[in-house]
Amino acid sequence: MAAKSMTIVMHANDLDKTMAAFILATGAAAKGMDVTIFFTFWGLMAMKKGAADKSKLSKFSMFTGMMKKVMKKNNVATLDELIKDSAELGVRMVACEMTMALMNTPKESLRPEVTEIGGVGTYLDAASESNITLFI
Amino acid sequence: MAEVKISTVGLNCPKPLIETRKAMRKLAAGDILIIEGDHAVSKDEIQQAVKDTGDAVLGVEETGGKWIIKVQKGA
């Protein structure tokens, strides 16, 4: 039997890292797990409206366009698609309230898939009940 | 009792898993889902995921790199 719950802190907004976070989130949700992603700092910037298509690789960022073409050729889902799939599979997406204030990121500027706002306590409550926790 | 077919042919990880789960969520207990695909790793991963969610694998067929998995939604 698979683990029942996974919590991810998404701190990065690089394409390779956000893709990893959402591939893990959708995969876990597909296995029936309860998944929570807590978006903090640069990770919250990745959840701003329109940000998914502008995301760059963490290394060799000048090759981001080339990597996207290779991904498309290999029928790999886009980040935008994975975020939508996560929402459809019931992944809970929480925005870090402090980051919203620090980076002047009101709720309206975030994607509609981010339905909750919380703090470190929200993350810890979810993580303490999770079998898997990751910081990306 | 409904029977639904989906194709994941050509899709890469983790889309076959995602599309399977999306389709399963729309079904009622006892309904059948038939998943067609050609992503090798997903053939085994879908079967495990279906067991994890308390649903049943009824059968698997494979011919020339393409596979068909038949599953039934649990109660």
List the structure tokens of B32: 């059948």
Residues of chain A contacting B12 with CB distance shorter than 8 Å: 74-77
Compute the distance between CA of residue A51 and CA of residue A78 in angstroms, rounded to an integer. 12
Cβ contact, residue pair A30, B25, below 8 Å:
no
Residues of chain A contacting B49 with CB distance shorter than 8 Å: 2, 30-32
Helix (H) or strand (E) holding A20: helix A15-30
Instruction: List pLDDT tens digits, range B54-73.
Output: 999 999 999 999 999 999 99
Which of A29, A76, A77 lies nearest to residue B21, judging by beta carbons? A29
**CATH code of the domain made up of A5-135:** 3.40.1260.10
> What pLDDT score was predicted for residue B75?
86
Compute the distance between CA of residue A43 and CA of residue A46 in angstroms, rounded to an integer. 5
> Which is nearest to B33 in space by CA: B21, B24, B45, B42?
B24
What residue spans define the domains of chain A? 5-135
Sign of CA dihedral B44, A1, B7, A27: negative
The pLDDT of B29-53, averaged and rounded, is 97
Write down the mean pLDDT value for chain B.
96
CA nearest B45 in A: which residue? A31
> What pLDDT score was predicted for residue A3?
63
Q: Which CATH architecture has domain B3-72?
A: 2-Layer Sandwich (3.30)
Residues of chain B contacting A76 with CB distance shorter than 8 Å: 12-13
> What pLDDT score was predicted for residue A64?
96
Contact B73, B31 (CB under 8 A): yes
Give mean pLDDT in consecutive 10-residue pieces for chain A, a chain of 136 residues: 85 97 98 97 97 95 96 96 98 98 97 98 96 97
Partner A contacted by B40 (CB < 8 A): no
